Chain A
Amino acid sequence: MPKSDTNSVGLVTPQILDIDEPLSLACGRVLPRYQLIYETYGQLNADASNAVLICHALSGTHHAAGFHSESDRKPGWWDHYIGPGKPIDTRRFFVVAVNNLGGCAGSTGPTSINPDTGKPWGPDFPTLRVRDWVHSQAKLGESLGIHTWAAVVGGSLGGMQAMRWALEYPDRVRHCVVIASAMKLTAQNIAFNETARNAIMSDPNFCDGDYLAHHTSPKNGLATARMIGHITYMSGDGLGEKFGRALRTGSFAQGSDELVEFQVQSYLRYQGDVFSDNFDANTYVLMTRALDYFDLAREYHDDPVAAFAHASARFLVVSFTTDWRFSPERSREIAHALMAANKSVCYAEIESNFGHDAFLLPNPRYEQVFRNFMDTIDTEPRT
């Protein structure tokens, strides 16, 4: 943990909430009880009106900011944007970040024990949809004494949760921040997810998802899935700028028979390996399916304007110019549907070379837009 960063929330400790109340899922199944792991930053004010919920993306966790120990070298995944003096300013806001149900960072998911069998859920873990997360997050909020969120904030799959929140609990979301997201995935996007799932499922160690019972893990498949994802989360230019055709080993000298390895190859392989050591394959499958199934307006006659008519939050929608998985066009659709529904909305299209990943990275304009919007949120307790 770097001592110099005065804008860090510092050391944080995850907490666990056991919810002993059944959760009826969108798929028709019922989760009799479940556990959510979460972190909080900042102080809840007297009337609990300053709480901000952070919804994570595909591979995110509850560890959004700060450090777990003095020796921790990497902060939480959104540390650039959460902390004292940062856009989500923990001097004003009480921030709650939760690992989604079905995750593998401590909340109930495929690696948890199924109480009915005494064995890990594995592939039998129910298929989840975005709304299931929203309902479980609402339970977490209630346990913390939070009825209404000052803001629900998320990027990518997290943005889908934020939008679903605004429709499912309109009186409990004052502001909704939707970053690099979409009201539904495109066919191309679903195709990428299917390719990733196929990589996992065709790994011989996948064992139809029952790899834990076989004391193994589809690491190669999961690494490949991550590599595919990683490429698509960056822009072609960004990848080119970072690696070009630079070589890690070997040379193209005449007469050299040695195999050449490009920098980008070893980088991707490293990313895939680190990820597959720390992530659960069934969770990856579950999360990508939730992404594919999400369609904000499905139950509103496929009319986004009719869907957003139910919202009462003030929205900030942000996209990034080189994001081709959640392109600016998808965000424009959100912003325009909100405007047509007569809702409050700000939309900014941020210049960035980093593709979809841009929502996680430092960017002065993105920070300013985000900060200016968050600064308009009143956090003074009503007496």
Chain B
Amino acid sequence: MSLRIDHSIIEKWVAPKSRLLDLGCGDGSLLELLRDNCRVEGYGLEIGAEEINRCIAKGLNVLEHNLDEGLTRFNDKSFDLVIMTQALQTMRFPHLVLDEMLRVGRECIIAFPNFGHWKARWHLATSGRMPVSDLLPYQWYDTPNIHFCTVRDFEVLCAEKGIKILRREVTGAHGTHALIDLAPNLLAVNAIYHLSK
């Protein structure tokens, strides 16, 4: 449910006919949405066999690629937009991925789960154990999410790197809400950023 929320927000931000790259594109549902509604020239990079199969079946462009190996083969500014949804926290070096996204793309869009959300804090504070939820159903030892961050963490990183935040949208479990914007680091489940250098 919350993934669809990011997708519909991203859809509004994407200029029609953009040439874009979706890092960790999963089953291609975002690429499909953007192809059908924004007529983008989209390419997805994905490592999961089943996800790649689904992208192929949808007639999308998908390349099997391990993002931890970087984007060295991609030329500077070879895409209008580089997107990564719900995958930054799975990267071995998220800060370097961010650099690479803004090298390869003129702009980038990143969506990630906010670990500063009050439920995560509550879970950790009361049970003393790493949060496990519907959205993040893994145990600490088997989770692919090895680099969680909070909304504030992410913005500090952007400031350090001189990355411009063009737009930000924060969402709760049921979409956007004015209340969430008041205290995003505490109330946002997901954060979506549109960035440029």
Contacts and interface: CB of A to CB of B under 8 A. Distances in A.
A336 B78 CA distance: 12
Contacts of B56: 316, 346, 348, 369, 372-373, 376
Nearest to B59: A376
Chain A to chain B: the 10 pairs with minimum beta-carbon distance, closest first: A372-B56, A347-B63, A372-B57, A376-B59, A349-B64, A346-B56, A348-B64, A336-B73, A373-B56, A346-B62
A368 interface: yes
Interface residues of B, number: 19
Interface stretch (A102-110, A235-243, A337-345): A337-345
Contacts of B19: 342
A307 interface: no
Contacts of A342: 19, 41
Interface in B131-164: none
Contacts of A376: 56-57, 59
B43 interface: yes
B53 A372 contact: yes
A347 B64 contact: yes
B49 interface: yes
A375 B57 contact: yes
Contacts of A369: 52-53, 56
Nearest to B19: A342
A332 interface: yes
Interface of A: 316, 332, 335-336, 339-340, 342, 344-349, 365, 368-369, 372-373, 375-376
B111 to A, nearest CB: 23
Interface string B26-50: 0000000000000001010000010
Interface of B: 19, 41, 43, 49, 52-53, 55-57, 59-64, 73-75, 78
27 contacts: A316-B56, A332-B73, A336-B63, A336-B73, A339-B63, A340-B75, A342-B19, A342-B41, A344-B61, A345-B43, A345-B61, A346-B52, A346-B55, A346-B56, A346-B62, A347-B62, A348-B52, A348-B56, A348-B64, A369-B53, A369-B56, A372-B53, A372-B56, A372-B57, A373-B56, A375-B57, A376-B59
A45 B64 CA distance: 34
B44 to A, nearest CB: 9
Given A332-B73, A372-B57, A373-B56, A345 B49 contact: no
A373 B57 CA distance: 6
Contacts of B43: 339, 345
Contacts of A344: 61
B53 A335 contact: no
B57 A345 contact: no
Given A339-B43, A349-B64, A369-B56, 7 more contacts: A336-B73, A339-B61, A344-B61, A346-B56, A369-B53, A376-B56, A376-B57
Nearest to B49: A365
A348 to B, nearest CB: 5
A94 to B, nearest CB: 22
Contacts of A375: 57
Nearest to B75: A340
A375 B52 CA distance: 15
B175 to A, nearest CB: 33
A346 B19 CA distance: 16
Contacts of B53: 368-369, 372
A336 B41 CA distance: 15
Nearest to A339: B43
Contacts of B73: 332, 336
Given A368-B53, A369-B52, A345 B63 contact: yes
A339 B53 CA distance: 18
A217 to B, nearest CB: 44
A376 B55 CA distance: 11
A365 B56 CA distance: 13
A340 B21 CA distance: 11
Contacts of B61: 339, 344-346
A368 B53 CA distance: 7
A254 B53 CA distance: 56
A317 B159 CA distance: 40
A36 to B, nearest CB: 32
A79 B136 CA distance: 45
A365 B52 CA distance: 10
A307 B49 CA distance: 29
Most chain A CB neighbours (cut-off 10 Å) among B52, B61, B78: B61
B103 to A, nearest CB: 15
Contacts of A368: 53
Contact of B78 (A340, A345, A348, A372): A340
Nearest to A347: B63
Given A369-B56, A376-B56, A346 B63 contact: yes
A368 B57 CA distance: 10
A17 to B, nearest CB: 34
A336 B75 CA distance: 10
